[in-house]
């Protein structure tokens, strides 16, 4: 997965990819917000060295970062919807305050994706790391005469 995959809305994303992307977006947003607060001098009563131009540049940078983080988060959620076999427009169900967030958690984070290829593409490779390995039956390994005894 490279950086351009973060911005695309097509394809599918497994549970782990979706969760790690959302955690990364939240962490990056939190760190950037902290830096914005420090750079704009919020909470500093003397406001020494803080000009209108410096605040404007920080706000412009904040807008650019916020748009990127929202885009990445939305793209990951759409790809996760695709993995569940539904359209990305299903994210409109997140709009109602309490029920929307419950649907998001229950469906996108905990719900398994479609195990086979669906109309949005092949199964993401992140599934392979979390599936149990096939185990051979002890009876299948025995010769037929020993298995019948």
Task: Tell me how far apart the 2 most distant CA atoms of the chain are, in Å.
Answer: 91
Residue 143 lies in a domain: no
Residue 140 lies in a domain: no
Q: Which one of 32-46, 56-70, 109-123 scores highest in mean pLDDT?
A: 56-70
Residue 130 — pLDDT band, cuts 50, 70, 90?
very low
- Is the pLDDT at 89 greater than 60? The verdict is yes
118 phi and psi, to 5 degrees?
Answer: -125, -170
Residue 58 lies in a domain: yes
Q: What letter would DSSP give residue 118?
A: B
Helices (H), the chain: 15-40, 52-84, 97-103, 138-141, 144-148
The residue range of the domain holding 107 is: 3-131
Mean pLDDT of the chain: 77
- What is the signed CA dihedral for 20, 28, 61, 56, rounded to 10 degrees? 140
Residue 31 — pLDDT band, cuts 50, 70, 90?
very high
Residue 145 lies in a domain: no
More confident residue, 83 or 144: 83
**Rounded Cα distance, 56 and 79, in Å:** 35
Residue 26 lies in a domain: yes
Q: Is the pTM of this model over 0.75?
A: no
Terminal CA-CA length for the chain: 52
Residue 149 lies in a domain: no
Residue 43 lies in a domain: yes
Number of domains making up the chain: 1
**Rounded Cα distance, 121 and 71, in Å:** 21
Residue 146 lies in a domain: no
- Is the pLDDT at 1 greater than 50? The verdict is yes
């Amino acid at each position: 997965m490279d950086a351009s995959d973060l911005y695309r809305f097509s394809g599918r994303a497994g549970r782990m990819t979706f969760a790690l992307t959302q955690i990364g977006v939240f962490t990056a947003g939190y760190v950037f917000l902290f830096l914005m607060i420090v750079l704009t001098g919020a909470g500093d009563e003397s406001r020494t060295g803080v000009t209108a131009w410096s605040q404007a540049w920080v706000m412009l940078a904040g807008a650019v970062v916020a748009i990127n983080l929202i885009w990445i988060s939305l793209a990951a959620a759409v790809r996760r919807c695709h993995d569940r076999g539904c359209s990305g427009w299903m994210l409109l169900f997140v709009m109602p305050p309490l029920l929307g967030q419950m649907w998001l958690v229950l469906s996108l984070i905990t719900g398994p994706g479609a195990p086979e290829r669906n109309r949005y593409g092949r199964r993401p490779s992140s599934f392979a790391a979390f599936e149990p390995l096939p185990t051979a039956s002890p009876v299948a390994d025995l010769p037929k005469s020993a298995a019948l005894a």
